[in-house]
Amino acid sequence: MSSQPLNVNEDEIAKFEQVASQWWDLTGDFKPLHQINPLRVQFISQHIALQVEGVDSKNSFYDMQMIDVGCGGGILSESLAKLGANVTGIDMGTEPLNVAKLHALETGVSINYQKITAEEKALENPGTFDVVTCMEMLEHVPDPASVIQACSTLVKPGGLIFFSTLNKSIKSYLLAILAAEKLLKIVPDGTHDHDKFIRPSQLIGWAEEHGLKCIDASGIHYNPITGNHKLNDSLDVNYILCCRKL
């Protein structure tokens, strides 16, 4: 165990603990995550089929070792496990992990959920995973670059890491905070802090500093009013990156 202070913002964790019971309510606070999840899976599947030897395009992750960092209630972890991956899901929220464990039992998928930081997990299991996913988590930690470094340590050489987060733009303030939190109340007020949003250039810079090469980026467009969602070329609000470990 490291003597460094944990890269965890307890206030952020508390927000997710409070609403964890809603995690699998398709109409609740996590509705946007449920709606964009198929797009994330599509992006991840496409890149795995293209980049990882022996995986065809039939969406099968059979026997691959994957870790979902900041997995919450397990929306993405379950999708990856259903496609055949051996999935570890890590988070620092106790309630989100309890919900994730219970839901996996109900669904009949086997996932190894653990309460541990990415940094501690990287010390325990360096170079272990074929794929690392870290979705909508970096904007909630004190030091996102440290999580990126940990993800880079966790993945095998040549493996893939997927990051998604919110860009620091005026449009992301208008859509993700003003519209989604304050006006339409689709997600709880205070879920996001615009100062913690991350420009793609910044994220790619951190990734490169830690031995990763960004090989693709896509916007995840989500309209909080209509619920319409699609992958597109505009990274101005929500976006997802695919990086390869050199």
> Residues interacting with ligand SAH, by CB under 6 A?
7-8, 12-13, 16, 33, 70-72, 75-76, 91-93, 96, 117, 135-137, 140-141
- What is the strand order of the sheet 65-69 is part of? 111-115, 86-91, 65-69, 129-135, 155-166, 238-245, 212-222, 229-232
Identify which of residues 8 and 231 has a Cβ nearer to ligand SAH in the complex: 8
Buried b (16+ CB within 10 A) or exposed e, 167-193: bbbeebbebbbebbbeeeebbeeebbe
DSSP code at position 52? S
By beta carbon distance, the residue nearest ligand SAH is 72
Nearer to ligand SAH by Cβ, of 137 and 154: the residue is 137
Least distance (Å) between residue 67 CB and ligand SAH: 12
What is the nearest approach in angstroms of ligand SAH to the Cβ of residue 238?
11
Q: Which is nearer to ligand SAH, 30 or 61 (CB)?
A: 30
Residues in the chain, how many? 246
Shortest CB 53 distance to ligand SAH, Å: 27
Closest CB to ligand SAH among 175 and 240?
240
* Residues 28/183, Cβ–Cβ less than 8 Å: no
